[in-house]
Chain A
Amino acid sequence: MLKLPIYLDHNATTPCDPRVVEAMVPYFTNAFGNAASRNHPFGWQAEEAVDYAREQVAKLIGADPKEIIFTSGATEGDNLAIKGVYEMYASKGNHIITCNIEHKAVLDTCRHLEKEGAEITYLDVKPNGLIDLAELEAAIKPTTILIAIMYANNEIGTVMPMREISAIARKHGVLVFTDGVQAVGKIPVDVNKDGIDLMAFTAHKMYGPKGVGALYVRRKNPRVKVTAQIDGGGHERGMRSGTLNVPGIVGFGKACEICMQEMESDAKRISQLRDKLENALLKVEESYLNGDKESRLPHVTNISFKYVEGEGLMMGFNKNIALSSGSACTSASLEPSYVLKALGLGDDLAHSSLRFGLGRFTTEEQIDYTIEHVTNTVNKLREMSPLWEMFKDGIDLNTIEWAHH
């Protein structure tokens, strides 16, 4: 029996795996110690648990445990990496290269630094959502200290060419930071093979709890340092003060261990379901895939259904299917997704997009239900859409003088 509602918004957050919750529970009650309490068994127990989790987290990304700084999540990790490098390497330069489809946690941090005197280059992406490597290299100057490019995009699921990016960075002696939130745990990420110097990621996108994440900071070749953004007791080797979220960290560790073991089989199964969904929805007339079809995450597809508006579309099934739209009709700005616009999509197509994020617990039955209900709603709304009628009558919508609001 199909249980509703169906959750297809795994890029926003994932449910905790029950095995993760099970691992966390003792650390709320019996083993509640502060990992920084060095003088009694409660503290030792907590510290031991944190150390173990640190190994689990490090292993997933091919890092050394000493290179893992626990944070409250990826937004904090993004802030710590970018601001921390900017401050630490101020004597070397003030120029940072990023791209215009980064998460707001990166873009807003860069905007913040601009006010403090940083020079930021925002690379455009190609229509497939990937950056142009020649443009990246051309943007590097003697003052460039950091390249901050996301591993995979949250809206369209495209995976950036990290190894090529880091090879260019190495050649010019520039550090590489990547927001790995969407990629870690979903596809193999190896900080050494990928040439990453700093990487932020978070537990709740990989079946762990919310409120805990990590920043990977390379310790050799080169040894990277960041200036702390939160001062206090000197936790996490002085880079991030604050009492450690022990149950969260334990859960994060367990989540990483499960991903390590099951990523490959999960990805294979989920990508088959994703392909089934995508192929069926792309059969709908005037529907378009957004982002590169090859270099992308296994569980994401982003599709625009021309001549229907995304939020209106979601209303047709959002009691039963949870997903996300590039239409920002609910936001005060009424601006559609800046990511889709950066791909060169017209506002009309950006307004018409849906993002499907599948996950570990997605079933084929759920996908069949989704195909049927999304298709029906698109058809129903097109019957109601003046744009669809014009399109069917052969009217070029670009020839109409619209009254802009």
Chain B
Amino acid sequence: MAYSEKVIDHYQNPKNVGTLDKSKNNVGTGLVGAPECGDVMRLQIEVDEATGVIRDAKFKTFGCGSAIASSSLATEWLKGKSVDEAVKIDNMTIVEELNLPPVKIHCSVLAEDAIKAAINDYRKKNGLEELQFEESPIH
């Protein structure tokens, strides 16, 4: 299977690989997927507490090229967005941006889940109610 150029570019030059300090109150961490499924994503956001804007985002991903590209792209999109905007990121926009084939749609779903998990972790740490999300039909 041939990968799109954008996937290859993210794979070769992943953006924002790394780890943020989990112990900080303004850092939210989302860890989704499972080793047995061949995909695990960890996505972290660091929120500017004064403005509610995501100042930094980092990821680490165990998975195929599409999974790595989806999470790399997600961190790029997260930076500079407010938490409320970030929660609206839809997996299908990742699919479109990266030209993912149908068998790789689950990678984008995982990235969306990771974003939501990171946001909820941040909310929880800051005494906010966790958001409820509808189950994605792809699972």
Q: A interface vs B, CB < 8 Å? A: 307-309, 311-312, 315-316, 327, 329-332, 334, 336, 346-348, 351, 383-389, 397, 400, 402-405
Contacts and interface: CB of A to CB of B under 8 A. Distances in A.
Given A336-B38, A404-B34, 13 more contacts: A308-B62, A311-B38, A311-B64, A347-B35, A384-B14, A384-B60, A384-B68, A385-B62, A386-B40, A386-B62, A402-B40, A404-B36, A405-B39
Given A309-B64, A330-B1, A386 B42 contact: yes
A312 B67 CA distance: 8
A329 B31 contact: no
A405 B60 contact: no
B37 interface: yes
Given A309-B62, A334-B106, A405-B110, A346 B38 contact: no
A108 B9 CA distance: 40
A348 B19 contact: no
A336 B60 CA distance: 22
Nearest to B19: A389
B45 interface: no
Dominant secondary structure at the B interface:
mixed
Most buried by A among B32, B103, B139: B103
A176 B39 CA distance: 42
Interface residues of B, number: 32
A207 B113 CA distance: 48
Nearest to B42: A386
B110 to A, nearest CB: 7
24 contacts: A308-B62, A311-B64, A311-B65, A312-B63, A312-B68, A315-B8, A327-B38, A331-B103, A332-B103, A334-B37, A334-B38, A347-B35, A348-B35, A383-B17, A384-B14, A384-B17, A384-B60, A384-B68, A386-B60, A389-B19, A402-B35, A405-B34, A405-B37, A405-B106
Contact of A347 (B8, B11, B31, B37): B37
A309 B103 contact: no
Dominant secondary structure at the A interface:
loop
Given A307-B62, A312-B63, A351 B40 contact: no
Contacts of A397: 35
Pairs A-B, 10 closest by C-beta atoms:
A402-B34, A347-B36, A348-B35, A386-B42, A386-B60, A311-B64, A315-B65, A351-B38, A329-B64, A385-B62
Contacts of A347: 35-38
A405 B61 contact: no
Contacts of B8: 315
Contact of B38 (A329, A385, A389): A329
A385 B32 contact: no
B23 to A, nearest CB: 13
A312 B65 contact: yes
B3 interface: yes
Contacts of B110: 405
Contacts of B32: 403
Interface string B62-80: 1111011000000000000
